[in-house]
């Protein structure tokens, strides 16, 4: 049997170990298999969501860069997964229907103004500005109107999602105090989707959150990452990969 041909490119996992991650970071089979093999041993073998929730798959036109939108660690799939997780957490913490929908919209938009897959400080504020400037397009895609107050709470959550609590300025602290639950929910949802990242030390650290996720959330979030990313790598379009993964985690509800 002939030897297997070498891979043309290093995996994200290998690049992260070498501290050479590029500005554009698409998922690959090697990294995904590493994630699957290293999922925490105490995770439920049959993870599921407690209810269907709301998910908004953002169109690639909302993103600053199309390559980051379609295939990157902060693109369409990440934003859609965070939108669903945010809506589920909002329901878990008994936010009303408007703020639950606002949490979903915030998740779908929160990283759409990124310029790269690295730290990119300020991308939260840029995405918040995008939401308010494109509120009709976002609410139309969501399929329901949102009151101006809920839109502004969503924009606040987006603007603060990439700023650690302990680094809030006085102005940011005042903004947080005006809508703390929505900010906490978006930060927690974003944190839960970190199972997509290629080093375990970058995976969710719930000690940094002010509102801890419920017990079902980590295993279900990890499965949502692996199932949607596997489907995409197998050639499925983003929206179908996300909806199929969502359905597999909500069967029987």
The DSSP string of the chain is -PPPPPPSS--HHHHHHTT---SS----HHHHHHHHHTS-TTS-SS---SS--------GGGSS-HHHHHSSTTSHHHHHHHHHHHHHHHHHTT--HHHHHHHHHHHHHTTTT-SSSS--TTHHHHHHHHHHHTHHHHHHHHTS---HHHHHHHHHHHHHTTS-GGG--HHHHHHHHHSHHHHHHHHHHHHHGGGGSSSGGGS--GGG-SSPPPTTHHHHHHHHHHHHHHHHHTT--HHHHHHHHHHHTTTT-
The pLDDT of residue 8 is: 57
What's the rounded Cα separation, in Å, for the pair 42 and 40?
6
How far does CA 244 lie from the centroid of its chain?
A: 17
199 in Cβ contact with 224 (< 8 Å): no
Task: Give 102-144 pLDDT, tens digit per residue.
Answer: 999 999 999 999 999 999 999 999 999 999 999 999 999 999 9
pLDDT in the model for residue 9:
82
Residue that the structure tokens 């197998």 belong to: 234
Predicted structure pTM score: 0.95
Cβ(249)–Cβ(219) below 8 Å: no
Check: CB of residue 43 under 8 Å from CB of residue 226: no
Say how many Å lie between the first and final Cα of the chain, rounded. Answer: 48
Distance CA 117, CA 204 (A): 17
Q: Give me the residues of the chain with pLDDT under 70, please.
A: 1-8, 252-253
Structure-block tokens of residue 33? 């298999």
The residue count for the chain: 253
Contact of 20 with 112, CB cutoff 8 Å: no
Q: Are 157 and 104 in contact (CB under 8 A)?
A: no
What does the pLDDT read at residue 5? 39
Give φ, ψ of 83 to 5 degrees: -65, -45
């Amino acid at each position: 049997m002939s030897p297997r041909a070498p891979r043309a490119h290093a995996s994200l996992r290998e690049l992260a170990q070498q501290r050479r991650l590029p500005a554009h970071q698409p998922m690959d089979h090697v990294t995904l298999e590493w994630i699957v093999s290293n999922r925490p041993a105490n995770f439920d073998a049959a993870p599921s969501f407690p209810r269907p929730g709301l998910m908004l798959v953002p169109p690639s036109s909302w993103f600053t860069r199309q390559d980051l939108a379609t295939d990157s660690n902060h693109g369409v799939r990440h934003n859609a997964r965070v939108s669903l997780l945010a809506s589920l957490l909002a329901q878990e913490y008994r936010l009303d229907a408007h703020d639950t929908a606002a949490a979903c919209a915030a998740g779908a938009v929160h990283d759409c103004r990124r310029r790269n897959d690295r730290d990119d400080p300020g991308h939260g504020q840029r995405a918040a500005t995008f939401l308010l400037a494109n509120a009709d397009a976002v609410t139309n895609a969501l399929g329901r109107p949102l009151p101006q107050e809920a839109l502004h709470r969503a924009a606040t959550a987006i603007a603060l999602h990439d700023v650690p609590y302990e680094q809030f300025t006085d102005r940011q602290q005042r903004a947080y105090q005006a809508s703390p639950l929505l900010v906490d929910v978006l930060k927690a949802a974003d944190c839960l989707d970190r199972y997509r990242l290629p080093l375990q030390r970058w995976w969710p650290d719930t000690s940094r959150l002010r509102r801890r996720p419920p017990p079902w959330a980590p295993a279900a979030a990890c499965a949502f990452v692996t199932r949607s990313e596997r489907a995409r790598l197998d050639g499925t379009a983003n929206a179908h990969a996300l909806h199929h993964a969502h359905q597999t985690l909500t069967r029987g509800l």
